[in-house]
Amino acid sequence: MEKDGEMTSQTHYEWNYRLRFQDADAAGILFYARLFDIFHDAYVCFLEELGRPLWKSIETSDTMIPLVHAEADYLSPLRFGDPIKVAIGVKRLGKKSFTLQYSVNRQEDGRMAATGETVHVAVDRENFQSVILPKGLQQALGRFHT
């Protein structure tokens, strides 16, 4: 996955993707679980854009930020080769957790194909107890809080 995103406004990060050959399932459309892979790929690029790449923080930080909830709605079937745009926004920004929202639109006509949400909670790496979000991350996310 290459970083290929941009800030389109104060409130959204946009990331481009083309459906992979192996994203399809035996019914010939996007396997539903792969949408969550795509959300996460966009999230990783979003964090990099925020100056807080996940590959650094999972090595150096005492805080992990696992997902505690995820959901998606599938509006129209996506197929191998379809180019899409994934927009991420910060729906809720708390002291110990935050909620991201995603919308997936076809690049060709802008038609919405899916939406989703993920909830992320800061925890201590050792005991998985809830802790305060790292200050830098909270400030960075704040710029995208609608």
What is the nearest approach in angstroms of its own copies to the Cβ of residue 139?
22
Q: Which residues bind its own copies (CB under 8 A)?
A: 1-4, 16-18, 20-29, 31-34, 36-37, 39-41, 44, 53-56, 58, 64, 66-77, 79-82, 118, 128
Contacts of range 133-139, beta carbons closer than 8 Å, 24 or more positions apart: 133/63, 133/65, 133/94, 133/95, 133/96, 133/97, 133/98, 134/57, 134/61, 134/63, 136/52, 137/50, 137/52, 137/65, 138/93, 138/95
CB of 111 to its own copies, least distance (A): 13
Query: What does the block give as tokens for 36?
Result: 């969550």
Q: How far is the CB of 105 from its own copies (least distance, A)?
A: 15
Token pair, residue 59, equals: 């090595």
Closest approach of its own copies to the CB of residue 107, in Å: 11
Q: Between residues 24 and 50, which has the closer beta carbon with respect to its own copies?
A: 24
3 or 143: CB nearest its own copies? 3
Query: Of 1 and 112, which has the nearer Cβ to its own copies?
Result: 1
**Phi, psi torsion values for 39, nearest 5 degrees:** -55, -45
Nearer to its own copies, 34 or 96 (CB): 34
